[in-house]
Structure 1
Amino acid sequence: MNHKRHHRGRRKKKKGSLASGLIFVIAVFVFCVSAFQLFKIMKGYYDGRSEYDKIRKLAVTESDNGDSEDDFRVDFEELLKINPDTIGWIRFTPEPSEISYPIVQTDDNETYLKKTFSANENTLGAIFLNAGNQADFSDRNSIIYGHRMKDGSMFRHLQDYEDKEFWEANPCFYIYTPDGRRITYRIFSVGQVEDTSDTYLTSFASEEDYLAFLDMTRQTALYDTGVEVTTEDTIITLSTCTSASDNHRFVVRGVKEEECVPDYDEE
């Protein structure tokens, strides 16, 4: 009788050892898969950032002397060789200086969600103009999209504008175009909206409709900037996702303040 109990005890120990071994193997497998996924994410960030760094070195000339706006120029010929969808360059100065990217546009709003400027598959995607907008930014509301990347790239730093003091120190952004224009936009409204919001309207049937739209942009703003916008103005809405939910977006709206063709001195 005791001999049988001894065998049963050995069987239980074997079963326990097998179960423990199986759990260990599963844990190791899960760890390896997680580590691989993390590696892919980090490599994607690195590859994307490296690509855009190369593009800046290729196409952007910036001098340390004189006015920072007038000393910044973009070689659109080089950019168009890489990507014929190029329609502009967006830049913030002095901050968030991380946002300095080419702008593209195609006939849909899906292509550049996971495709970089150089046509590589990457979660960074590209900064792109809404497919329904005019490529020369002449619409009353032009919408530019960009991802909110955890590594700080693309439109991640738009959310710095949640702080009014940050806006006070950095109230403008700039769009450069292939025909040589530099357009200055003064930020007048910052806030969080739903992805179905009227924020994404681009055309308006009447002056009254556009005025109602502008009133909405003020009402949904996080703070009052005091910047005046009228129905004679055109604006740009910069849009990125948020951590709130998949249905929410963070938007920074700028009104066109100045448009010029810089007279760069030949060196």
Structure 2
Amino acid sequence: SMFASINNYLNPDFYKEHPTFEYETETKSYTVEVFAAYETNTDFYYIETNFQEPGSFTTYLDSVKLKSTITTNVEVSKNDQILTLSTCDSGLDYGKGRFVVQGKLVEKIL
């Protein structure tokens, strides 16, 4: 229930009204530029964080963008940090379904 409202990103109109959101840690504040929102299951390792092979991050981003229900102009490169939010999607698959929103972190200078 904590991230249930991220399901709104299935609607392209919602994305147009909310292309970014704010994220804060104890030491930094960020604007998150949403670049993908999609339904998947745990067979797709959307929480990948280890990209050892050259080009593997780019390949991962390409697969994420193909899955996305929204189209964005956000450019993400191997030098960017991304934030991944996910929630259960029992409509897709009761045990393994997930809804995922991913965005690029842009540090806010205060």
TM-score (norm 2): 0.90
Unaligned stretches of 5+ residues in structure 1:
1-148, 263-267
Taking the aligned partners of 2:109 and 2:25, their CA distance within structure 1 comes to 10
Taking the aligned partners of 2:30 and 2:53, their CA distance within structure 1 comes to 25
Paired residues for 1:199-218 under 5 Å? 199-218=46-65
From 89, 98, 101, the equivalent of 1:252 is: 101
Structure 1 consecutive aligned stretches of length 4 or more whose deviation exceeds 2 Å: none
Paired residues for 1:25-104 under 5 Å? none
Taking the aligned partners of 2:52 and 2:108, their CA distance within structure 1 comes to 29
Report the 3-state secondary structure (helix = DSSP H, G, I; strand = E; otherwise coil) of the residue aligned with 1:187: strand
Task: State the one-letter code of the partner of 1:230.
Answer: S
Taking the aligned partners of 2:107 and 2:54, their CA distance within structure 1 comes to 23
Q: Which residue does 1:16 correspond to in 2?
A: none
1:261, CA displacement in angstroms? 4.5
RMSD in angstroms over aligned alpha carbons?
A: 1.3
Task: State the one-letter code of the partner of 2:97.
Answer: H
Report the 3-state secondary structure (helix = DSSP H, G, I; strand = E; otherwise coil) of the residue aligned with 2:72: coil
With a CA cutoff of 8 Å and minimum separation of 6, indicate the structure with the bigger relative contact order: 2
Identity %: 29
Once the two structures are superposed, residues 127-184 of structure 1 have per-residue CA deviations (whole angstroms, 9 ceiling, x without a partner) of xxxxxxxxxxxxxxxxxxxxxx3xxxx11101011100100101112221112x1111
Matched pairs, number: 108
TM-score (norm 1): 0.39
Unaligned stretches of 5+ residues in structure 2:
none
Greater fraction of residues in strand: 2
1:223, CA displacement in angstroms? 2.5
Q: Which residue does 1:228 correspond to in 2?
A: 75
Greater Rg over alpha carbons, structure? 1
